[in-house]
Amino acid sequence: MELCFLGTGGAWGLPEHACPCATCRRMRALGQHRGRAGLWLSTAAGGVLIDPGPDLRAQLMANDLPRPDAVLISHEHGDHFLGLDDLLCFRRAVAKDQWRPIPTYASEATWAAVEQRFGYLLPSLLEKRLCRPGQALEGAPMGPELACTPIKVDHGPFPKGALGFVFDLRQDGRSLRLGYTGDMLRPQDDPDAFAGLDVLVCQCAFLNEPAVNLANHLSLQAALPMLRRWTPGRVYFVHFTCQDVTPGDQAGNAAIKRRAPAQPLCRPDGQPHAIPQDQESWQATISQVLAEAGLSCQGFAAFDGLRVRL
């Protein structure tokens, strides 16, 4: 069992094109980048593509990935499904009588957006299957070795079909529970829906919780009490952005996307944590913040192309 992180950036990736902020300048100087959302889960039952974002073609090629056995879409924002058309490469590469549509799971609200944009992909490329929160997904490749339960999450008023997922995986006598929050502020129906997991893939759009969270995304600061309650074994953070207000970054802080914190996350000496601006500083900050919070879980800043054995 393996998890491959295809894209670990927010809706516009990192660095954002034309963004003058200190974070984007730093990432450009280092040659670092984060693409839009995407995960690949390899299991005994097959490969599962989670959130085919608009960078999908490049991600498939960079990671040499085959045709997925299933596709899961967490919600109807473009950075989580606009790469669906790129899956046509797999159908075009085989004889017509050898092709079988790819089982694709999403909520009713998400399917409404997908069909409006990509109606021509159904039913020849994609086989439409519905996700119902709290009900295990049905149909192959789902089964004893790959079970998945959608979790209703609160991602604000507009993406009404927003979901996370909890997977129960079995292979060679081993079992493992894996969770993916997707984009969210919090689980909507069950606050402990992501509790007791071996591995959690968790959104981390900001370091500090904004005074007004217009984006309806989870910050590392807001995630801490959830992680304390959920007690995951390992946490991989994704969906990083450059939206934290950075002291001294005049050009960046003037941008409309910047969000001032309600109360910055502080070190034990009372000084605010520095805003991470690259992969290394995000990893160092995550490790330090989790330790200072007394959390026993291992925390990692995921990066594009990271492969994790489960």
Q: What pLDDT is stored for residue 162 in this prediction?
A: 98
What pLDDT is recorded for position 142? Answer: 93
Name 118's bridge partners: none
The 10s digit of each residue's pLDDT in 2-13 is: 999 999 999 999
What is the total count of domains within the chain? 1
Q: What is the CA 262 to chain-centroid distance, rounded?
A: 25
CA separation for the pair 274, 286 (Å, rounded): 11
The domain that holds 175 is classified in CATH as 3.60.15.10
pLDDT at 259: 86
Using the structure block, give the residue that is written with the tokens 């034309």. 18
Q: Which sign does the torsion angle of CA 239, 243, 247, 251 carry?
A: positive
Low-confidence ranges of the chain (pLDDT < 70): none
Q: Which domain holds residue 165?
A: 2-309
